[in-house]
Amino acid sequence: MGVYDHRELLALVTALSKKMQISVEDLVHAFGEHLINRFTEKFPQYFSAVNNCFDFLDTVDSTVHVEVKKLYPEAELPVFETLNKNQDSMQLLYSSSRPFSALAYGMMMGAAGVFNENISIKTEDFSGENGEKVKFTLTKNG
């Protein structure tokens, strides 16, 4: 772990995308899902403290990011603001100076998998398709 120039990461992902012939977006979504699964192994307390995906996502800023900042005070973390939440749907606003909303999307899908929930996600990009300010609308299916 550490603090890295996000442009380096974007260059690496773009190169891997070309080599693997997978879109950058699909590659980053898959990495986000993988990352959540790694977090469940390393930090199970964040997942066992809640009962479902929406409750977990609602705690990212207030719990998970607080702990990350203790370990890495210089870390530049995105902000996840819960706009509304009920049993069947949730809206989150992702804000960051870096264009990593595709990673957030993958992590949300991964979180749903952790809780054995089937969700669909719609996105609305308020940053001109830059992925720096995106509203996610999550809906539970079945």
Best CA proximity match to 104, nearest among 116, 93, 119, 118: 93
Please report whether residue 92 resides in a domain.
yes
Helices of type H across the chain: 6-20, 24-42, 44-48, 53-58, 65-71, 101-114
Cβ density class 28-62: b for 16+ within 10 Å, e for less: bbebbbeebeebeeeeeebbeebebbbebbbbbbe
pLDDT tens by residue, 90-121? 999 999 988 889 999 999 999 999 999 999 99
User: For residue 56, is it within any domain?
Assistant: yes
- pLDDT band for position 2 (cuts 50, 70, 90): low
- Number of domains, the chain: 1
Q: Is residue 66 a part of any domain in this protein?
A: yes
Q: Which among 127, 8, 7, 136 is positioned nearest to 84, based on CA atoms? A: 136
Residue 1 domain-assigned (yes or no)? no
Q: Is residue 17 part of a domain?
A: yes
pTM: 0.86
CATH code of the domain covering residue 16 = 3.90.1520.10
In-domain check, residue 81:
yes
Helix axes 101-114, 24-42, angle to 10 degrees: 50
pLDDT greater at residue 24 or residue 124: 124
- Would 97 be classed as within a structural domain? yes
pLDDT class of 4 with cuts at 50, 70, 90: low
The residue range of the domain holding 65 is 6-140
